[in-house]
Each structure stands twice: as C-alpha cells, then as structure tokens.
C-alpha cells in the first residue's frame, strides 16, 4: 500500500465518521422534536379541557342549588332551577360550536340513527316521525347521531 492509498482510506474513514455523527445528531434532534410536539399537543388538550371545565363549574353550582331546593320541597324553585341549568348548559355548548342535528324531514344516515321503522299514514316513506334522543355535531363532525323513528 502506498502512502497515498493509506491517506485516502483515512480520509474516507473520517468522512464516514462525520456522516455517522451527523446521522446520530439528526436522529436525536428528531426524537427531541417528537417528544416536544407530543408535550405541546398534550398542553393544548389540557388547556382546552381547563377552559371548558371553568365554563362548566357555574352550571354545576346551578344544579346544586336546584337540588337543594328539591330537598326543601320547593317544586317551583326546582323547576326553575332545572330550567336555568338546562339553559346554561345549552348556551355553553352553543358557544363551543355544538349544534343540534335537525330531525325534520327525511332520514339521513349520516346524522340519524334509525331505532325503529313504523307505518304511518301522515308521513312519507323515510320521513322522521319521532326523536328518541337528540343528536349533536361540532361543525360538520357528528358527535352523537340523532336516534329517531322512521316512517315505513
């Protein structure tokens, strides 16, 4: 082997070592990036949940007041208290972008879940006759389909 050949092999080994070092650094940087983004995503979820919970707490307070009124046999106050809690919760959900799924008209399998089909002389085939459980969506995403009875 010539000195030149030995020198070239040494240079190749040095370049290979530099590439290996860079790859290791890149892999470590990528791993740190994944951990950081996972931590940030969890922080966003926690913040969103905290904000929602802060808005739910006054509704919980209203519900406790309604229950206390029920213990004192004050039916009028209980009725009023439950209505207040319902309005508060509906308002909170609306502010969060939750909308009730419309149930008038034809059955839509994308937003309705048919629990029962029954004959009807007043409605056309496929019309929603009754709502068993309201459905809700956020934007275009269905959170819970409306459970309905459909005309045969």
Tokens 């409605």: give the residue: 123
Percent of the chain with pLDDT over 70: 97
Q: What is the pLDDT of residue 75?
A: 67
Total-model pTM? 0.61
CATH of the domain at 117: 2.30.22.10
Strands 136-138 and 98-100: antiparallel
| Co-location of 8 and 30 in the same domain | yes
Please say if the pLDDT value at position 74 is more than 70: no
| Co-location of 84 and 126 in the same domain | no
Please give the residue that has the higher pLDDT: either 52 or 22: 22
Q: What is the pLDDT of residue 89?
A: 87
| Co-location of 86 and 107 in the same domain | no
| Co-location of 4 and 64 in the same domain | yes
| Co-location of 132 and 68 in the same domain | no
Query: How far, in Å, are 2, 15, 16, 66 from residue 5 at the CA level?
Result: 5, 15, 16, 91
Range of the domain at 21: 1-96
Helices (H), the chain: 3-71, 75-95
Residue 19 pLDDT class (50, 70, 90 cuts): very high
Q: Three-class SS of residue 22?
A: helix
Tokens 């934007």: give the residue: 139
- What average pLDDT does range 74-97 have in this prediction? 82
Strands 146-151 and 112-118: parallel
| Co-location of 37 and 75 in the same domain | yes
In this structure, what DSSP letter does residue 96 have? Answer: T
C-alpha 118/C-alpha 77 separation (Å) is 40
Q: What is the pLDDT of residue 36?
A: 95
Percent of the chain with pLDDT over 90: 45
Please give the residue that has the higher pLDDT: either 48 or 88: 88
What is the average pLDDT score of the chain? 87
pLDDT in tens, 47-69: 877 878 788 888 888 888 777 77
Total structural domains in the chain?
2
């Amino acid at each position: 082997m010539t000195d030149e050949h030995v020198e070239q092999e040494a240079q190749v080994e040095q370049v290979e070592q530099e590439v290996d070092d860079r790859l290791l650094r890149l892999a470590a940087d990528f791993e740190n990036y994944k951990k950081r983004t996972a931590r940030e995503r969890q922080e966003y979820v926690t913040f969103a949940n905290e904000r929602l919970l802060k808005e739910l707490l006054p509704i919980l307070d209203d519900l406790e007041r309604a229950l206390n009124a029920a213990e004192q046999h004050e039916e009028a106050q209980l009725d009023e208290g439950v209505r207040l809690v319902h309005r508060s919760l509906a308002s909170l959900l609306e502010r969060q972008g939750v909308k009730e799924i419309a149930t008038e008209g034809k059955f839509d399998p994308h937003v309705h879940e048919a629990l029962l089909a029954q004959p009807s002389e007043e409605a056309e085939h496929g019309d929603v006759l009754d709502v068993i459980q309201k459905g809700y969506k956020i934007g275009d995403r269905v959170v819970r389909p409306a459970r309905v009875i459909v005309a045969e």
